[in-house]
Amino acid sequence: MTDPLFGKLALVGIGHIGASIALAARRGGVVGEIAISTRSPATLARAEELGLGDVYFADAADAVRGADLVIVCVPVGASGDVAKAIGPHLKAGAIVSDVGSVKVSVVKAMAPHLPSAVHFIPGHPLAGTEHSGPDAGLVDLFQNRWCVLTPAETADPAAVEKLMAFWRALGANVEAMSAEHHDLVLAITSHLPHLIAYNIVGTASDLESGIRSEVLKFSASGFRDFTRIAASDPTMWRDVFLNNKEAVLEMLGRFNEDLATLTRAIRNGDGDTLFDLFTRTRAIRRSIVAIGQDTSAPDFGRRDHTKPDQAKT
């Protein structure tokens, strides 16, 4: 039996992602001990009931003492406060990371509060469902999904490689890039789709009551999928948009230009323009399936995450 990569892992925040990390790390045997911290007494008690960790703390400072790896799993808007709280209590040589969907603002918020003796390597696992809380943890959530790390140019290569090995042990593919590049890429692949979903579902909710009830009753697969995305944690996504403002606005500007082109094509009966676009986008969907980031199965290739036993297998 090989020694674990990290003797002690501390998870600050234990929602959907934090719980999934705990489950996958336990199954993979990549950590010796798991310490869990969250400010909510009810959430902390539930995490203990689920057996997600070994020790549990209301105070994040207590959880990170002696930890070899600390992963901050809170909404990005709270990351700076967490870093300030844990900074003085971190072990020299520890690796500190996070799971936020935005990286530039997280680096600016966290880095000033972390001692030079630790290795700060921001991260973002590109995985998740619309569910939240410790009960939403899935042991296989990161399987064949990407985790992006955004280390500074001065980061210790050995520490970066060790964190990469951790995520690979959880089943993820890992790639490193700059924080700026990450935020631009995620603005189009994740943030803008969520914004569009929130807007479309919001539009439906603003319809007259009779029409709104029929929209819900006769929801086709497209609208159903938008509602799934729009059911994501509101605190997390509020913070994402506020903290990746520039990149989201740039991509939203491009989207609005393309939407205007589609509007003209429909108004003018320009079927060729519509057909060409739909052909190109169909090819993109097939490419996503071909590289293993989804399947061609019905219902958008999604697994059934509603079975409670899945989080414990």
Write the burial class of residue 191 (CB in 10 Å: 0-12 exposed, 13-18 middle, 19+ buried): buried
Which candidate, 107, 25, 121, 37, places its Cα nearest to that of 74? 37
Task: Determine the pLDDT at residue 215.
Answer: 76
Q: Of 3.30.1130.10, 3.40.50.720, 3.30.70.2470, 3.40.50.170, which CATH number belongs to 6-177?
A: 3.40.50.720
Task: Determine the pLDDT at residue 109.
Answer: 97
| Long-range CB pairs of 247-250, under 8 A, 24+ apart, other chains included | 247/183, 247/184, 247/186, 247/187, 247/191, 248/187, 248/191, 248/192, 248/195, 250/184, 250/187
CATH node for 182-309: 1.10.3660.10
What does the pLDDT look like over 204-234, one tens digit per residue? 887 767 777 777 777 766 787 788 788 888 8
Task: Determine the pLDDT at residue 201.
Answer: 85
Task: Determine the pLDDT at residue 294.
Answer: 64
Can you list the residues of the chain whose pLDDT is less than 70?
1, 208, 220-221, 293-313
What does the pLDDT look like over 151-182, one tens digit per residue? 999 999 999 999 999 999 999 999 999 999 99
- Is the overall model pTM greater than 0.85, yes or no? no
What SS3 class is residue 14? coil
Task: Determine the pLDDT at residue 310.
Answer: 33
Task: Determine the pLDDT at residue 206.
Answer: 79
Task: Determine the pLDDT at residue 231.
Answer: 84
The domain limits of the chain are 6-177, 182-309
Task: Determine the pLDDT at residue 226.
Answer: 81
Task: Determine the pLDDT at residue 221.
Answer: 67
Region of residue 171 (phi > 0: left; psi between -120 and 50: alpha; otherwise: beta): left
